[in-house]
Structure 1
């Protein structure tokens, strides 16, 4: 039986959480004092500890208590609770090794999900009942059809970071748990979603992928839930939404943090009740789906900043997968390069020459801010520019990969004095600077520049900035 300890100086919170979690089959103890909690930890082992951040103990608060718990029982998952959320405190505590930072009061569903997530995370770390993943025994490329209707690939890495990612996918895939996939732009979050679906019991049913970043608040409800004919101006016929399309299968919501607060509210009800009501309809429709969402920003921070509903976050966050950036998977770079070269050769219908040592050195020294997506594009470029079977050299590389990168600038067509060109150059450089600052997270870049995401895409196209 899994054991839980509740530490809070408000006895009614201890009683409430004890009642909720005991009904779920857990053995639950509680304490209103941090110092007493430490004595209890010496005598008993706990799988999960809920700890209030602002304890009334004079010498010990939630931060100190969590550090002591980490020292005494490193395997215990610590969930810090607070009624006064602070982003800086959250970041500090997470760096100290706590499992989660949550805002009080907690309802029953949130408390249960937090425990389930903590225990599942422990199972991943312990690799319980899982055979080791050996990428050499499987095809290194998993092919799937992306939401843009294109054939895309996921490459299985061989490094420790990649193996941990594979283990998490293998563990969570057979369940019906909702999953949040976090990672920088271009790391392959959609590929991970497809891998989870392909290894699940829903694999013979559809996986429907929606890019929430491209949905306006007006269109989001229609795209997700569908609409009836005449429901609004321009609704000349009925439309089936993504939830109905994914019935029996998996719904993947990419960049979910871009949904408006109103759409988040509707989404929460649908996930809780598993029913939808198309726009303009009075009829509710039952849907059987698994939810997988992705974001290139920290949704927990978005919750603390009031940009994302906390109840929706806890409903979705039954398990989280962090997809590592390419710069943290350098040991997999040779495998990625070899695999993508083969893929590009198939696309071009011809064999390309070998990669020279200076190409491989440039790849190894580059930080890859665009991650896997950027590497794929670079491989397409250098193979396209190379002659058949001649060695591919550094002269084929894009400018940013050269050992001594030159200043990026927009060519001035009509002279330095042309005001339009000066403005264009300044805008080009500013957008590049901001994108590099946020590691090419377009949503975050748009917010920093006080423009919407669509305007940023238009400017990237106009200025010929290819990402």
Structure 2
């Protein structure tokens, strides 16, 4: 966007007249103010792309107006005019945020050049603003983090509170729950939008290289350091640094990280210069950091520094109602990215997907849908496209049968005993099962012994005898 509307404020009639004529010929709409008070009224009534202000005006001065404009509309550019050929006023104006300055008397060609440059700067600023809006829309929480379940609604609420602030966040959750995606959403919905977002996996980089990756190094700091390198903290200055798998960081690096978080400064490896950094930290782990702190494997002071705002992501098995929504989303993504022709997924296939435990969480579901879409010869995915998944679910269901559960429990108990030294094991096992069975059924019938006997398939007198022998209390609540 070019400069369209300009506010000119100067207490000299001749300056206002000259600027009005010159800028009007260039196609700009110009509003004139004879003092600071009139300029402020015009500013608050209209939208301007540029203001040209005399540095010394009554009620208020040009510098005072500059401060007000910066507070209320920082995107508007301001050029300051001064009659004093002193750099002091010019430097002060630039420090306060002026785009440029002119020293009276000035050449109109000089003014045209500055306005042309300002127009280009405004166009770039508008483009950056547009890109920021597009990024923010692209990383809207509900658009990229899929799910309408109650656990996800709680996550959205927390994200809405966390993102606009500068608070340090610790994201916990099993592998594959989308921790990096959430970290990106936090950044792109924060005031740091437009600044760098960098991610580093602390478990994927050898420990002797991780320090250099985080804090940078000087030339000659170690073998192979042939030049100075800025670390991730320097590169992310003004933005967000995502530290994934923070639980795998060594204790010595944890101490250096703690210093950066506390002091907001660092020293490159092999260097002596202290560098100031302004970085928001979002960390993530699938480990129990409290346990690692208790085991002296993670610094307690660093844990509390990172755990300012904890955010736990639920595993997929705890929000199964989101699986159909996720499956359709990933299928559409496969259509767009892999150019597959699969159009949809059947209800039977969705039911099958909802039964699976998904130990790999959302990442496993996405890979499963992607693989099925690539291999399926049909337009719609059916249970036949998830045969291995169906076989695994059947095995899991069989393993969870009552007989299997009893078998596993008995095996675990008897493994701790010497069976050869036991007598009457059959009666002992039956006796241990009989008491809880009767208690459970009595509870279901609210103490109705007639109905309990019918359910168990035994005589009522037999039931009464067992209740007395086993010492079972009957509750009718």
Q: CA deviation at 1:160?
A: 1.2
Q: Give the gaps of 5 or more residues in structure 2.
A: 1-133, 397-477
**What is the distance in 2 between the residues matched to 1:142 and 1:348?**
24
Give per-residue Cα distances to partners, 1:371-417, cap 9 Å, x unaligned: 0000000010110011252x32223226244365579xxxxxxxxxx
Q: 1:219 to 1:262 in 2, by over 3 A?
A: same
Equivalent of 2:265 in 275, 298, 313 = 275
Aligned partners of 1:302, 1:225: CA distance in 2, in Å? Answer: 24
**What secondary structure does 1:237 align onto?**
coil
Name the residue aligned to 1:186.
Answer: 176
Return the match for 2:185 from 183, 195, 198. Answer: 195
Q: Deviations over 1:211-251 (max 9, x none)?
A: 00012221111000000111100111211100001100001
CA change 1:232–1:289 in 2 (3 A) is same
Structure 2 Cα separation of the partners of residues 223 and 401 of structure 1: 44
**2:384 aligned with 1:395:** yes
Q: Structure 1 length normalisation: TM-score?
A: 0.53
| Cα distance in 1 for residues equivalent to 2:359 and 2:285 | 16
> Partners in 1 of 2:365 and 2:258 — Cα distance?
37
What pairs up with 1:227-306 in 2 under 5 angstroms?
A: 227-306=217-296
What residue number does 2:151 align with? 161
Alignment of 1:381 onto 2:371: yes
**Structure-2 change in CA distance of 1:402 and 1:263 (3 Å):** same
Higher relative contact order (CA 8 A, sep 6+): 1
> Residues of 1 paired with 2:363 and 2:149: CA distance?
19
TM-score with structure 2 setting the length:
0.52
Quick check: 1:170 aligned with 2:156?
Answer: no
Corresponding residue of 2:331: 341
Q: What's 2:96 paired with?
A: none
The 1:285/1:375 distance shift into structure 2, 3 A limit, reads: same
Tell me how far 1:357 sits from its aligned partner.
3.5
2:315 to 322, 325, 331: 325
* Equivalent residue number for residue 356 of structure 2: 366
In the aligned structure 2, how far is the partner of 1:296 from the partner of 1:306? 18
Structure 2 CA distance for aligned equivalents of residues 349 and 217 of structure 1: 40
Of structures 1 and 2, the larger Rg is shown by: 2
- 1:454 corresponds in structure 2 to none
RMSD of Structure 2 on Structure 1 (CA):
2.1
**Number of residue pairs aligned between Structure 1 and Structure 2:** 259
Alpha-carbon distance change, 364 to 178 in structure 1, aligned in 2, over 3 angstroms: same
- Looking at structure 2, the residues matched to 265 and 315 of structure 1 have their Cα atoms a distance apart, in angstroms, of 12
User: Structure 1 residue runs of 4+, over 4 Å off?
Assistant: 141-144, 403-407
Taking the aligned partners of 1:205 and 1:187, their CA distance within structure 2 comes to 26
Matches within 5 A, 1:4-153: none
Change (3 A) 1:375 1:404: closer
CA distance in 2, matches of 1:392, 1:332: 18
- Cα deviation, residue 349, structure 1: 1.9
Q: Deviations over 1:407-455 (max 9, x none)?
A: 9xxxxxxxxxxxxxxxxxxxxxxxxxxxxxxxxxxxxxxxxxxxxxxxx
Question: Distance between the aligned counterparts of 2:368 and 2:302, measured in 1?
Answer: 38
Structure 1 contact 394–402 (Cα < 8 Å) conserved:
no
Q: CA 1:142 to 1:182, structure 2 compared with 1: closer, same or farther past 3 Å?
A: farther
Mark the runs of 5 or more structure 1 residues left unpaired by the alignment.
Answer: 1-138, 145-152, 408-467
